Amino acid sequence: MWWLLVLLVTCLFYYSRNRLKYFSSRGVCTLPPVPLLGNLTAVTFGRENFVEAIAAGYDAFKDQRYFGLYQYLVPTLIPRDPELIRQIMVRDFNSFADRGVHIDADCDPLFGRNLIMLTGSKWRSMRASLSPAFSGARCRSMAPLMAESACAVIAYLREKISGEEAMDINKITMSYVNDVIASCAFGFAVDSLKDPDNCIFRLGKKAVVQDTNQVMKFFGYENMKSIMKFLQVKIIPTQDAEQFSQLFKSALKARRENLVKPRPDFIQILVDAAQEFTDDDLVAQAVLFYVAGYDTTANLIYYFLYEMAINPRVQEKLHEELDGLPPDEDIEDLYEAVQGLEYLDMCVNEVLRLWPLVGSADRRSVATYDFGPTYPGSKDRLMAPAGIHVWLPIYSIHRDETYWPKPHDCIPERFSKDRKADIVPYTYMPFGNGPRHCIGSRFAVLAAKVFLVKFLRSYKTRADRASPHLSPRAFILRPRDGYLLYVTPR
């Protein structure tokens, strides 16, 4: 039987060699790929974050409008030119209407129904139904719910901290975000610092954290979908998905039968949209809300506090703005008060530039597309059939000195009213852009701001290290060495 194994490996090797000539045969620059692994060898073996694999090509081909990488055997185009990015995300959206990896409900009954995975008319209908949940008016009404969760964190800290304390910030940010999403998406009031074993937090920690295993599942569906389907690999394990489903359906039932007083939250939007979709469709959107918001919003808060810790001048200026707010009990409209903090908004935008919630966005073409010359004046150009995968290099373009002087420095003034107009379009896109941009961006930023206002009015942060390295075993930009910061009462 050994000869069968040799034959199989040989066939795979030559098959991969042919697949890995896609870009070179078309005059598109690419880093040398490894058979079967493409350009993800270091990512696969946990030596670098996948945004660093993108950055290697981005930095190597500075004279190119776009270049290629191979996510294993899948040719993936990386646009460097902001105008080309605009074409892909906005102007020619109809040619790039789908996300990169598609997992349908036949493969994963829960995850395959969420807004990111939906395509065509089903996506448009669901997007239109969910958009009101994240309007300014809805976010205004949910701000007090966020404040309740933030106040619970501050009360916990007051019991624990009397002087400067080294603290795992991830513990409090994850708890806060869990409580906010539990309240606004599932309609449950929980306090995860006092009760870390509550059912939603327990499920979230098991099923949702976006680590290497989750990344590899997505790569698996992109490279060998039929095998993943045959093996019944789920993005969220079946048992956890069933628990999420039961939990949310019970909340839906209680709201429909008026067993719970109506609240201005996400679940009410889903109840109102129920006539168009099945309960399984609605559960998928609630789980997506959790998956998309859990790690990412907590990370935004951490990186914000980290940047304040290593930039004391910025932190001091922000403290001065926050000190100008009236006492909590005298703030009649929390949403308006938070939105009126101009320097806080500048700081949040700058942190999102340095540490976007995800390092890249993905798209897939649904029609043949001409990407134009590889560089201005080049005779080589890529005319790709439908199905070409595109990674938008958000992390890399956010730190490109061509567009951002001193790109690694935290300079909130980049986003002042006077200087915003100087930002080159499509070089700042922490939530993507175009019709497929992150639907929950307003909610995520507001949740972070409410927490930061409450926290920084009472505490300041300090850090020993100058710059965190990225964890290679994470889908999002998680710090490799943990979330330790020094916290001191003001």
Q: What DSSP state is assigned to residue 48? A: S
User: What is the bridge-based pairing of β-strands 74-79 and 389-392?
Assistant: parallel
Cβ-Cβ contacts under 8 Å for 401 (sequence gap 6 or more): 407
- Given a contact cutoff of 8 angstroms between Cβ atoms, the answer to whether 235 and 217 are in contact is yes
Sign of CA dihedral 321, 327, 329, 332: negative
Angle CA 92–477–138, to nearest 5: 65
Q: Residue 167: beta bridge partners?
A: 485
Tokens matching residue 454: 């409450």
Q: Residue 93 class from Cβ within 10 Å (0-12 exposed, 13-18 middle, 19+ buried)?
A: middle
Selection from 437, 391, 435, 427 nearest residue 94 by Cα: 435
Three-point CA angle 444, 242, 198, nearest 5°: 60
Rg (CA), the chain: 23
Q: Say how far apart CA 208 and CA 236 lie, in whole Å.
A: 7
Nearest to 427 by CA among 445, 454, 407, 455: 407
Chain-centroid distance of CA 309 in Å reads: 23
Q: Are 99 and 224 in contact (CB under 8 A)?
A: no
Element (H, E) at 325: none
Nearest to 223 by CA among 81, 52, 82, 15: 15
Contact 222, 100 (CB under 8 A): yes
Helix 199-207, helix 169-185: angle, nearest 10: 110
- Kindly state the tokens that stand for 225: 């979908």
470 three-state secondary structure? strand
72: left (phi over 0), alpha (psi -120 to 50) or beta: left
Is 438 labelled a binding residue? yes
Annotated binding-site residues read 438
Annotated binding-site residues for heme read 438
